Amino acid sequence: MQPDSSNKAVVDPFGTSSVSDYERLSREFGIEPFKSILTKVQDPSLYMRRGLIFGHRDFDNIVRAMNCHSEFAVLSGIKPTGDFHLGTLMTAKEIIYFQQHGAQTFYCIADIEAYEDNRIPFEKSGRIAIDNLADMLALGLDPEKAYIYRQSRESRVKDLALVLGRPITLATMKAIYGERRIGLYLSALIQAGDILLPQLREFGGPKPTVVPVGVDQDPHLRFTRDVAQKFQKKYGFTPPCSTYHKLMKGSDGSPKMSKRQMNYFTLHDKTRTIADRISNAFTGGRATVREQRELGGVPEVCPIYEMCLFHFVEDDEAMTEIYLNCRAGELLCGEHKMQTTDLVLKFIEKHRCKRANLIDKAKEVLKRDDEKK
């Protein structure tokens, strides 16, 4: 979906979202700018430093907990609909960042949402979940210090959803999510259960909990914060905090990666497919080499630049150099695509080697967490 003629953001957790102006979106939905809090974070992540996390709700509570080494939690997860791609990789890295900075960690496999939203049978999503979890472990999630679960197997989440649903009217659901199937409203209630799970007595009771997500998931956060307040007396819930990252463009330059448009690659695509997607990607380059040398490129609109910025160039100075060289016309798109392909394939090869040894571990962790319930 393209932004409408007024350039208004489209934010839909169950569909396609598109945002061209993050500041305007923040103003519209009351999201706080992340830059105002950045200096208080002692060891900011790459996404925080680079402004890719642009907004938050109540993240001050998490900063305080991190800086004072007091208790806090992180919860996020994955909808098991397919292989890890560059979008899911972002949330994964954020969860791992918070785990490494002392958060009690909850990793949710949203198989009820995959069933309701994408019609994926539980048997199939169970197989995908093993693959997704193996990716998470290869990226650095420590399963011994995380609570990992599938929504469909976690009765506390489902029980919580049941309780939380009591005061919610259809009008509220329509106002937040629009006219939807009942299954999707149910799935939103389950998500509220996920987000509030870390605050149940069994997990140590109320505590600041951060949910790092793409901004397309904000409706779930607004809904859950509202519900948390309604049940404050009963459970003592603290409204969940959140951070919002920008959405990556598709390789064709469209506002979001989409399966239908085949404008992205996964960590498990064939090497040839990945190289082709990069080689055929849209860029912010000019029509001719001569023009590009004279006028420079436009990294702000370029998916190749984004790939480097979000994932494949860790060093901030190297990233600045790419930006300046592109703007000055000293870096050409063909050359930059080749460099990026090299970086991506090196990362993927290393990741796949690690992951191959972690499939059995992923099976064991999911089985272990099933047995606990």
Q: How far is it, in rounded angstroms, from Cα 151 to Cα 349?
A: 31
Beta bridge partners of 326: none
- By beta-carbon proximity to ligand SF4, the closer residue of 207 and 277 is 277
Give the β-pairing of 73-78 and 53-57.
unpaired
For the CB of residue 177, give the shortest distance to ligand SF4 in the complex, in Å.
36
Which residues pair with residue 168 across a beta bridge? Answer: none
- Tokens 């997500």: give the residue: 213
Q: Least distance (Å) from ligand SF4 to the CB of residue 362?
A: 36
CB 142 → ligand SF4: shortest distance, Å?
35
Choice between 193 and 296, CB closer to ligand SF4 = 296
Q: Which long-range contacts (CB under 8 A, 24 or more apart) does 163-170 make?
A: 163/231, 164/189, 164/192, 164/193, 164/196, 164/227, 164/230, 164/231, 165/189, 167/230, 168/227
Q: Is residue 189 within 8 Å of residue 256, measured between CB atoms?
A: no
Enter the tokens of residue 165.
Answer: 């649903």
Report the site for ligand SF4 in 177-236 (rule: CB under 6 A): none
- In terms of CB distance, is 239 or 303 closer to ligand SF4? 303
> Residue 240, interface with ligand SF4 (CB under 6 A)?
no
Considering the complex, what minimum distance in angstroms separates the CB of residue 264 from ligand SF4?
A: 16
We find the least distance from the C-beta atom of residue 259 to ligand SF4, in angstroms, to be: 24
Inter-residue contact 78 to 262 (CB < 8 Å): no
At 190, which amino acid appears?
Answer: I
Question: What CA–CA distance (Å, rounded) separates 42 from 343?
Answer: 29
SS3 track for 27-41? HHHCCEEHHHCHHHC
In the block, which residue shows the tokens 């259809």? 170
* Max CA pair span of the chain: 68
User: Which residues ranging from 33 to 52 are in contact with ligand SF4 (CB under 6 A)?
Assistant: none
Residue given tokens 């049940």 in the structure block: 231
Query: Should residue 305 be labelled a site residue for ligand SF4 when binding is judged by CB under 6 A?
Result: yes
Would you say 112 and 88 are in contact if contact means Cβ atoms under 8 Å apart?
Answer: no
Does 304 bind ligand SF4 (CB under 6 A)? Our answer is yes
Segments in the chain forming alpha helices (H): 22-29, 46-49, 59-68, 86-100, 111-118, 122-139, 155-164, 170-177, 182-196, 218-230, 232-235, 271-279, 289-295, 303-307, 316-327, 333-356, 359-372
Which residue's CB is nearer to ligand SF4, number 37 or number 332? 332
Residue type present at position 160: L
Q: Which is nearer to ligand SF4, 226 or 321 (CB)?
A: 321
Residues 102-141: x where in contact with ligand SF4 by CB under 6 A, - otherwise, as a string: ----------------------------------------
Question: Minimum CB separation from ligand SF4 for residue 290, in Å?
Answer: 15
Q: State the minimum distance, in angstroms, from the CB of residue 151 to ligand SF4.
A: 39
| Pairing verdict, β 73-78 and 209-214 | parallel
Nearer CB in complex with ligand SF4: 199/341: 341
What are 215's two structure tokens?
Answer: 């901004």
Size of the site for ligand SF4 (CB under 6 A): 13
Here's the x/- map for ligand SF4, 263-302, by CB under 6 A: it reads as --------------------xxx-----------x-x--x
**Distance in Å, CB of 304 to ligand SF4, minimum:** 4
Residue 140 structure tokens: 């650095």
Residue 255 CB, nearest approach to ligand SF4 (Å): 17
The torsion of the CA quartet 76, 138, 247, 259, rounded to 10 degrees, works out to: -110
Of the pair 342, 364, the CB lying nearest ligand SF4 is at 342
Least distance to ligand SF4 from the beta carbon of 326, Å?
3
Nearer to ligand SF4, 153 or 286 (CB): 286
Closest to ligand SF4 by CB, 77 vs 297, is: 297
For residues 321 to 350, the per-residue mask of contacts with ligand SF4, x marking binding by CB under 6 A and - elsewhere, is -----x----xxx--x--------------
Binding site for ligand SF4 (CB under 6 A): 283-285, 297, 299, 302, 304-305, 326, 331-333, 336
